[in-house]
Amino acid sequence: CSRFPEAHIINRPTGIWTTSSKRFLLNFPELCPPMAHCRSVDDILAFRDQQAMVLKPLRSYGGQGIIRIDGDRAWLGLKELSLDRLLEILDQQEVDYLAMAYLSQVGQGDKRVIVVNGQVLGGVLRVPAADSWLCNAAQGGRAEASEADADEQAIAARLTPTLREHGILIYGFDTLVNDDGHRVLSEINTMSIGGMPQMAALSGRPIVEQVAEHIWEYVNQSMYGLAS
């Protein structure tokens, strides 16, 4: 660290490892739907008794491994099965998930927002297929042009200082619409920050170039003390 001051490291590897776990969301309960860290089948059932839910592996992306539970019904991705059958499967493996309340307005899409050096660059909306509850492109979702709304601007303002403490300069986050019609935080992306090329193609703006400009602005300020 003496050879490489913290300010000279953009997206510190240890920070990426810490913040890319779904468990990191537990630091921001006021921004997210109801959630809990589930490490046993009993934990899952206790959360299921309160609401329909989604289980997310702590380290996954692209919608991989996500489970939905609603009463006695469950879905592994798009495959429906009984809750009893799901519990049999889970009994054979280590249980380590972030449980999050299932939001019925998922059809309004999952929005990826990109932030660089505290600046919100824009968003891209991923809308699920007609017969799906999964928004990810890898799961059949389609992308639409979008921008960050007031809720998402506030989320970025809340996340940025904490992520900066972990050495994170560039990140993405995902939002869903809750039952009150507000966008709430569902993911933080520091390991696999996708969406920039799609955002550029859909908006017609040079998003990738803007990302580079904000990074260089940070470099000039933090390393060389140059004004922007």
* Dihedral pair phi/psi, residue 42, rounded to 5°: -60, -40
For 5, which DSSP code? -
Q: What structural domains does the chain harbor?
A: 6-32+105-224 (3.30.470.20), 35-102 (no CATH)
Query: Which residues are registered as beta bridge partners of 74?
Result: 69, 81
For 32, which DSSP code? S
Q: What is the pLDDT of residues 58-104, one digit of tens each?
A: 988 767 889 999 999 999 987 899 999 999 999 999 999 999 999 98
What does the alpha-carbon distance between residue 225 and residue 219 come to, in Å, rounded to a whole number? 9
Q: What is the pLDDT of residues 165-202, one digit of tens each?
A: 999 999 999 999 999 999 999 999 999 888 888 888 88
Q: What is the pTM of this model?
A: 0.90
What does the alpha-carbon distance between residue 40 and residue 182 come to, in Å, rounded to a whole number? 31
